[in-house]
Structures are given as structure tokens and as C-alpha cells.
Structure 1
Amino acid sequence: MINAVIFDMDGVIVDSEPFWQKAEREVFTSLGVEITDELRRITQRMTTNEVTRFWFKRNPWKNKGIEEVENMVIDRVIELIELENCLIPGVVDTIKELKSRGVKLALATNSPYRIIPKVLNKMNIIKDFETISSAEFEKKGKPEPYIYLSTLQKLNEKADNCIVIEDSNSGIIAANKAGIKVIAFTNGGKNLITENFDFKIPSFENVDYTIFESVK
């Protein structure tokens, strides 16, 4: 087996994209921002701070700072995660199986740090991860490679000994830039992935674990 698997979170461990859409629409429209689906797609893979600044630049609001509004969005997403069933089927079993085989597990996400424990605790998998990383603390989020480079350092592993599981083109680009092989999670074709990846899985149910045996 390889030494470590690095999981993305949104769209890989938790089906949270609808929650982000709902929270951003609620918060930004309450401030007078006109949100269109076309512009919303542009912001889809940005960090929360980048999204907030994007909408403020297009339609500045008054009486609330960027950080306050960003936290309003995050609070609403956390609320929805805690209320709704949003687990990606089979992913917990995959995590437990990899852990039982002695593989180190890490998480690297563009989401703000304070959302991560909410997700992992809800699914009772927080102790399975060697390290967790948020792009909130990096120079830039995905598609830049900083979060994956930081995660390699935390794991004390070389890129050749690890593999990333991603559901988005921006995440795959980030992993490619960091020199890490990628498993693209297509979620039954829901995720439209066009970037370079090394393996592809449509589901976490009935995973073929031979893809984790060697990535060199």
C-alpha cells in the first residue's frame, strides 16, 4: 500500500455544495447582492473569503465588514451540515478500511477550518485523520498547490508515496502542481472532471483497493 491518502472534503466526504449555494444566496441577497447562476459558477471553487470579496466588489454593501459577512455564510453552512444528511455513501467505510491497512490519512480542503471538525465529528471519523488542513491558512487555495505541499510536510511524506482523492478540476490542478497522483471521484458522473487524473472511481461503495497499492 502507499503511505498516505489525502482527502478533499466538500464533494468527497460530505455533499455540501448545495449548502454553500443556499447559504451564499441567503446571506448575499439579504445584503442587496444580485446573484446569478453564471456568476455563482465562477465562485464555486473559491475559498469563502474569496467568494465574499468577489460579491462585495461587484455589489458593495454597507454596515458589515468582509469578515463578518464571511462568518455569516460559514455559520449558515455549519447549521445546514448539522441538520441535514449529507454524507457521501461509502466514504466512511473506505476511510476505515484504509486506516485498518496502515495508511496515513489527511484532509486538505478549501473550506474554512472551523467547518472541518463539524463534518468529521458528525461522521465520527476525526480520529482517523493524521492531519487536517484548510486553505484558510495558505497563501492561496486550490487550484494553487500550497495546501497539498503543506499537507505533505505535515505527513512527513514525499509526493510519490501519496495519493489525493478529489472531485473537482481545481483540486486536481492543485494536486498536479504539487506532484501528487490523483484519484478522481466522479460521484456517478455528477462531477464533470476534465483535468489530468491517474485513476477514477464513480463511488466509494465496492472500492477496488488495488489502486492504492502503488502510485509510482
Structure 2
Amino acid sequence: MIKALVFDFDGLILDTETAIYKATKDLYKEYGAEFPIEVYANLAGTQDESFDLADYLAEQIEHQVDRDKLLKEQSKRIATFIEKEEILPGVLPILEAAKQSGLKIALATSSGNHWAQGHLERLGIRAYFQVIVQADDVEKVKPDPALYVKAVEALGVKPEEAIAFEDSYHGLIAAKAAGLYCVVIPNEVTKALEFSKADRKLKSLAEVTLVELLEAFSEEKGSEPSK
């Protein structure tokens, strides 16, 4: 029996992934360089310390750049893009239906420094989440399962009693490794990634109702999270 829902944030509730990509792509363009979507797609949903935005740019233009200046400009542009974004389709109806049904709700995000929580408050949906687990709360972020493990433990449910909602490959791997069901809803950045391990893949959360999801993952039908 499903007792909880665990949501990713970036690219799933708010399409920050596409906003970050577009802002960074535009910035690179001013330097006469390219920022391929394939590069960013592989970074989505995790924190890859081996990738450095300034170093990647320097390799393309063949001279060093001012890292602090680049990051400050990127942050400024990202904020401008994200201000235009709205909650993605289907998210609010699922949250409201879950609340009315008495399901527990958590957020598990690889972002830190209260990034997601700040946006949830700005969007007016923070109250839906009983638990928020972010990068600062674990040693390793997605694709490591720690965020999801901690989320279900905090909610007081078993992994197989929860459905994770993800948009990235790293998030999918983390959710499945933790033992949760996982519904993947790719965005513009992540749509080309491989999601064969997902229990279900949708174009939008607006395609499905909570009742349909609960029925699909009901243990009464002998359903178990795929490995």
C-alpha cells in the first residue's frame, strides 16, 4: 500500500533545469562558446565536482576567464529566467490530492543551501511537504540513494510504500537504489536521457491522477518496485 510521495524539485516541480541551461548557454554564447545540452543533461539531478563551468569555457575559447565574474553573471541570469517559471503542469493537483488522501509528502533534492525550500515558499506550496531533505543533510547526493533513504525514514514509511517523482537519470537511479517506485517526467534538458529503469514515464504529471498512480502501484495487484 502506498503511504507516501517523495518529490524531486529542480526540473520536476519547477523547471529550473531548463532555466539554468538557457541562462548558461546565453552566457557562453557571449564568450563565443557553446554549452551543449548533452553536457548539462548529464549534470542534472546531482552535484558533479569534476565539472567546472569556468574551466569548460576556458577550454573552448583557449584562454582563462574570471571564474567569480562568470559565476556571478550566471547566477544573475538564472534568477531572471527562473522568475518567469511557473509550477509544472499536474504537480499541484497531485500534491492537493495526496494531502486530501492523507498521504505523507517529502522533498528529496540534490540542491543545498535551502534553494528548494526558498522556491517552495515563494510558490506558496511549502506547507504540502512534511519533510525536506537536501544536499546539506547527507554525505552524498543523487545518484547515491541517501536522500531518498533519509526521506522515507523521516516520513516513517518503508521504501516500497513510497512513490518518487523524478526528471533526471541520477534521480531515477537514486530512487530505485533506495527501493522506491519511480515515476519519471523528463523536461527539455533531460528528455534524451535513458530511463528504462523507471516504473512509469510520463510527459507531464497532468497526464495522470493520484488515484491512477495508487492503483498502478498497489501491492494488492502484486506490484513491486522494479530493480
Instruction: Tell me the SS of whatever aligns to 2:195.
Output: coil
Task: Give the counterpart letter for 1:100 in structure 2.
Answer: Q
Instruction: Tell me the SS of whatever aligns to 1:97.
Output: helix
Report how far residue 108 of structure 1 moved: 1.0
Report how far residue 129 of structure 1 moved: 0.3
Task: Give the counterpart letter for 2:182 in structure 1.
Answer: V
Relative distance call for 1:79 and 1:94 in structure 2 (3 A) is: same
Q: Find the aligned partners of 1:194 and 1:20 in 2 and give their Cα distance.
A: 22
Q: Find the aligned partners of 2:204 and 2:164 in 1 and give their Cα distance.
A: 15
> Is 1:36–2:35 an aligned residue pair?
yes
Native 8 Å contact 2:10 2:45 kept in 1: no
Cross-structure match for 2:121? 121
Report how far residue 162 of structure 1 moved: 0.9
Q: Find the aligned partners of 2:213 and 2:133 in 1 and give their Cα distance.
A: 24
Q: Find the aligned partners of 2:76 and 2:154 in 1 and give their Cα distance.
A: 28
Identity value in percent = 27
Aligned pairs (5 A) from 1:80-119: 80-82=81-83, 84-119=84-119
Q: Find the aligned partners of 1:28 and 1:154 in 2 and give their Cα distance.
A: 41
Task: Give the counterpart letter for 1:200 in structure 2.
Answer: K
Q: Find the aligned partners of 1:118 and 1:195 in 2 and give their Cα distance.
A: 32
Q: Deviations over 1:116-164 (max 9, x none)?
A: 1332123211001011122244322211211111212221221121110
Q: Find the aligned partners of 2:54 and 2:85 in 1 and give their Cα distance.
A: 31
Q: Find the aligned partners of 1:75 and 1:150 in 2 and give their Cα distance.
A: 32
Native 8 Å contact 1:81 1:119 kept in 2: no
Cross-structure match for 1:2? 2
Report how far residue 29 of structure 1 moved: 7.4
Q: Find the aligned partners of 1:180 and 1:16 in 2 and give their Cα distance.
A: 24
Native 8 Å contact 1:169 1:195 kept in 2: no
Q: Find the aligned partners of 1:22 and 1:186 in 2 and give their Cα distance.
A: 16
Cross-structure match for 1:212? 214
TM-score normalized by structure 1? 0.78
TM-score normalized by structure 2? 0.74
Task: Give the counterpart letter for 1:195 in structure 2.
Answer: S
Task: Choose between structure 1 and 2 for higher RCO, CA contacts under 8 A separated by at least 6 residues.
Answer: 2
Cross-structure match for 2:78? 77
Relative distance call for 1:50 and 1:20 in structure 2 (3 A) is: farther
Q: Deviations over 1:80-110 (max 9, x none)?
A: 323x033211211111111110001111122
Question: Which of 1 and 2 has greater Rg?
Answer: 2
Native 8 Å contact 1:167 1:185 kept in 2: yes
Task: Give the counterpart letter for 1:134 in structure 2.
Answer: Q
Q: Find the aligned partners of 1:85 and 1:100 in 2 and give their Cα distance.
A: 26
Task: Give the counterpart letter for 1:210 in structure 2.
Answer: E
Identify which range, 107-116 or 169-178, moves more after superposition: 107-116
Q: Find the aligned partners of 1:42 and 1:167 in 2 and give their Cα distance.
A: 12
Instruction: Tell me the SS of whatever aligns to 2:108.
Output: strand
Instruction: Tell me the SS of whatever aligns to 2:21.
Output: helix
Q: Give the paired residue count.
A: 209
CA RMSD of aligned residues (A): 3.2
